[in-house]
Chains A and B, each alone.
Chain A
Amino acid sequence: MNKYRSYYVPFFFIILSIVGIIAANVSMDFILGQLYSRFVRNTIFLLALIIPILSGMGINFAITIGAIAAQIAMVVAIDMGLPGGRALLLATIMSIGLAIVFGNIVGFLLNKAKGKEMIASIVIGFLGTNLYQLIFMVGYGTVITPFNEDTLLTRGIGVKSMLDCMHFKTLFAGVMPIKIGNTEGSLVPIIIVLILASMVYLTSRSRVGYHMKAVGEDLEIAEKLGIDVDKTRRISIVISTVLAALAHLMFVQDLGVINVYSGHLNLDVFSAAALLAGGATFKKATIKNAFVGIILFHTLFIVSPLAGQNLFKNPALGEYFRSFIAYGTIIFALMMNLKYEKVRRTLVKADVET
């Protein structure tokens, strides 16, 4: 039985998805098309969560901070009014730079909260959001002068809540075109996702990756082995934050519009839920979990409002269902984890006696 434990959650999601697809009564083409864009938008967030799990820090809800770094970079890039390609390049470079700085700060803070990283990262995410909103809502137009007055609200203080960046969206159109379901897309974003996934894989196989595994298993033992625990943990948070920033760039690029004040919200919870749906736990996550999770979780996400509409004539019901699934998955994974922990501990003990 124990062998199949890690498949419980994905299996549950497969069943839910099938039920959802039947209830929603939509074509496979539609679902595949939607899945393509959600795959492009969200997969990198899931990849960003893997490395902190490897280091034993649980789910890094502070990937919100990485998203904020990307938002700042993009708002500035758009404000400067550069043409599409160059704006995206500048935004990428800037967001990586910012993410490295922010990641170090988050890593430093989480090292002060050993054993309680998950709750700490949630609160750090909130704090970051508030600081960010303060700067863009009050700072712009008062302390910071924008390059272009048009980015400001009409009252002259604060950035507009929506900034258009359609020129990002059309950037890849026509390059290596593919047709998935009913959506015309480009292969480029998928290649980017795959490249980042292989980078995460290589990191886990690198020297620092081995140290992360050591730190993840037992802080004290890792320290006894001469591993710099704090540094290893900080590196994994920096990597996670940078990936989150890149993920958000991809997200906005595909969406074509920046929600300045709310675009980065909830990404952490939904990404965590998707990863857990793929069979990951707070102790163990693989790239396979990320890919399986993104497909299962988002299939359900696509069909649930439609199913709500079909069954109860009320799409809002499906919306609630989405949140219910997201938080439910996390709680479920939490409980499964605790149970698994107990089993593992006694098994280890059994071994000591043999």
Chain B
Amino acid sequence: MEYVLKVENLTKKFEGNYALKDVNLALKKGEIHGLVGANGSGKSTFMHILFGSNYIKDTGGYLGRITIEEENIDINSTAQALEKGIGLVHQEFALLGNLDISSNIKINRENIYPLSEKVLGQEFGIVDKKKNKEDATAVLSKMGVNIDPSITVNDVSINMKQFIEIAREIDNTNLKILMLDEPTASLNQEDTKILLKSLKAIAETGVSVIFVSHRLEEVTKICDRVTVLRDGEVISHYSKEEFEINKIALDMVGIQVVPTKRKRKVQNRDNIISFQDVEVTHGNKVYKKISLDIKRGEVLGITGLAGYGQEIFGYGLMGLYNMKGNVFINEERVMPGNISLISKKGIYMLPDERKEMGLLLGKPIWENMVFGSYEQQKEFLKHPKLKGLSFLNHKVINSYSNRLVEDLNIKVRDIYQPVKELSGGNQQKVCIGRALTMNPEVLFVGEPTRGIDIYSKEIILDMLLKMNEEKGMTIVISSGEVGELKRICDRIVIMYEGEVFDILEPDVDDKVFSLAISGRRVESYEEN
């Protein structure tokens, strides 16, 4: 079998740290090759080198040999990578929201009226919108998706965006290697199935696929071979016959992962926060007549299909969404959105959009961990009496931050590294670190394990449980990962079409959960 891509001794250093070290990989024509590894293991770096991303060049380029179809090449720009037939589906979409779907799919490969090309040249040729739309429809339907390509991308669902992103790459007739970075992270089960099916179809046409995912079930299901990366080095290769999820998982993290499980505590507590018939509006979405009681000291999970309002309680209370109605904290009525009062009452939120709302991206790790906590943690100030005017006590802060970095297993150079240089999972851990520092009474956290490898996932879940058990912190987790919620929550709220559909005990049967999530009830369960 011929190899489309051969990578030999690929090495990349970021300021003295190896992100990749002597990585060897050969990709056969038409195969789906899984690339797995923990956060910061170098998967993204690998793909960005192949894709000629600018920051690779800006940080000193790479070492090693890359051969595509027997031709030794030196990739130094994205345009060049595209020309060589390499496509990358970005984890955080590279879509232009103000343009329509067809323009997004055909970008850089626009159809041009032939006459205008002759007169005005390649660059200034007039774009043939109609033909673009035809092409876009064709490529989308090839993936099993039907949508009007003249809709602007801002107006489509996140699932659809994922398909558009992939359609853009396979529309490239020259495509030889398609790399996908966590393509299923934001998809529901239905759409994941469609996606995996269309990936298989793409591979059958002779395109080689590099598939990155944290979901090992998916990887073992569709991949022909798997390469495991750990700390920038290739640990092992597996071919289809040898797949074994536990073994792969062990290779990824190097140590056995023990799933966290909550020891259930006695119920019957008083309400710490109580929402009574609140109305939440956001954009053109309205959630009406919502009631929910959050009990002191519990771990409450909120789940449901994407867009059904799992996040509204935290976001509404903190004023990110417009919330109206009766909200009681410790039996005392408060105005939702009055952040200074609400944070004084010991409520803190980690939004699921960590990059946009949760982090100071350009600032170092230590600052992200202690920022805003000076009132709670007086020892961070040199002269606590001066309050905000005081200098920071860097000695205390440094030792504190170093301890947290170690506890949370954050992969960093040192605590002075800017957060934006960290991988997504490590950024999330920094967020959790700040929640620890703030030590609130109630913590709202959104999608705490999204895009995080199995090992770090357990660390984060463990940390959340520890905060709950040791400090009695009430934790409200909104997440799409039902399996995780079932392990750590006391109660799980199911949202359906913007309403609190049901509140379930975590030990209820899986079937009941999946029915409830899709808005149905099991007869026998109701009778109980």
The CA of A226 and the CA of B79, in the complex, are separated in Å by 4
The CA of A316 and the CA of B88, in the complex, are separated in Å by 63
| Residues in B whose Cβ lies below 8 Å from that of A206 | 116, 120, 123-127
| Residues in B whose Cβ lies below 8 Å from that of A352 | 158, 353
Q: Are A218 and B124 in contact (CB under 8 A)?
A: no
Q: Are B99 and A217 in contact (CB under 8 A)?
A: yes
| Residues in A whose Cβ lies below 8 Å from that of B311 | 353
The listed residue (A207, A222, A225, A349) touching B356 by CB distance below 8 A is: A349
The CA of A312 and the CA of B283, in the complex, are separated in Å by 49
A219-230: CB near B (< 8 Å → 1, else 0) gives 001111111100
Tell me, yes or no, whether B174 is within 8 Å of chain A by CB.
no
- Interface residues on chain B, number (Cβ under 8 Å): 41
Q: Which residue of B lies closest to A229 (CB)?
A: B54
Given the interface pairs A348-B97, A352-B158, A354-B307, the reply to whether A207 lies near B53 with Cβ below 8 Å is no
- Chain A residues numbered 297-354 whose CB sits less than 8 Å from any CB in chain B: 346-354
The CA of A202 and the CA of B285, in the complex, are separated in Å by 38
**Which B positions have Cβ atoms within 8 angstroms of A?**
53-54, 77-79, 81-82, 88, 90, 94-99, 103, 107-108, 110, 112, 116, 120, 122-127, 154-155, 157-158, 282-285, 306-307, 311, 353, 356
Q: Are A207 and B112 in contact (CB under 8 A)?
A: yes
| Residues in A whose Cβ lies below 8 Å from that of B108 | 211, 225-227
Q: Are B356 and A224 in contact (CB under 8 A)?
A: no
Q: Are A208 and B124 in contact (CB under 8 A)?
A: yes
Q: Are A354 and B103 in contact (CB under 8 A)?
A: no
The listed residue (B99, B125, B284) touching A214 by CB distance below 8 A is: B99
Q: Are B112 and A351 in contact (CB under 8 A)?
A: no
Chain A CB within 10 Å, residue with most, of B81, B88, B283? B283
Q: Are B110 and A354 in contact (CB under 8 A)?
A: no
Q: Which residue of A lies closest to B352 (CB)?
A: A353
Q: Which residue of A lies closest to B78 (CB)?
A: A226
A193-208: CB near B (< 8 Å → 1, else 0) gives 0000000001101111
Known: A207-B123, A352-B353. 15 other contacts (CB 8 A): A202-B124, A205-B127, A206-B116, A206-B125, A206-B126, A207-B122, A208-B123, A210-B99, A210-B110, A226-B78, A349-B353, A350-B283, A354-B158, A354-B306, A354-B307
Tell me, yes or no, whether A234 is within 8 Å of chain B by CB.
no
Tell me, yes or no, whether A209 is within 8 Å of chain B by CB.
yes
Q: Which residue of B lies closest to A284 (CB)?
A: B98
| Residues in B whose Cβ lies below 8 Å from that of A205 | 126-127
Tell me, yes or no, whether A213 is within 8 Å of chain B by CB.
yes
Chain B CB within 10 Å, residue with most, of A206, A213, A349? A206
The CA of A224 and the CA of B79, in the complex, are separated in Å by 9
| Residues in A whose Cβ lies below 8 Å from that of B123 | 206-208, 235
Q: Which residue of A lies closest to B87 (CB)?
A: A226
| Residues in B whose Cβ lies below 8 Å from that of A353 | 158, 306-307, 311
| Residues in B whose Cβ lies below 8 Å from that of A221 | 94-96
Q: Are B82 and A226 in contact (CB under 8 A)?
A: yes
Q: Are B96 and A218 in contact (CB under 8 A)?
A: yes
Q: Which residue of A lies closest to B157 (CB)?
A: A354
Cross-chain pairs A/B with CB under 8 angstroms, 10 sampled: A202-B126, A205-B127, A206-B126, A207-B124, A211-B108, A217-B98, A223-B78, A224-B94, A226-B81, A351-B155
Q: Which residue of B lies closest to A239 (CB)?
A: B124
| Residues in A whose Cβ lies below 8 Å from that of B285 | 350, 354
- Chain A residues numbered 135-153 whose CB sits less than 8 Å from any CB in chain B: none
| Residues in B whose Cβ lies below 8 Å from that of A222 | 96
| Residues in A whose Cβ lies below 8 Å from that of B95 | 221
Q: Which residue of B lies closest to A218 (CB)?
A: B96
The CA of A144 and the CA of B127, in the complex, are separated in Å by 47
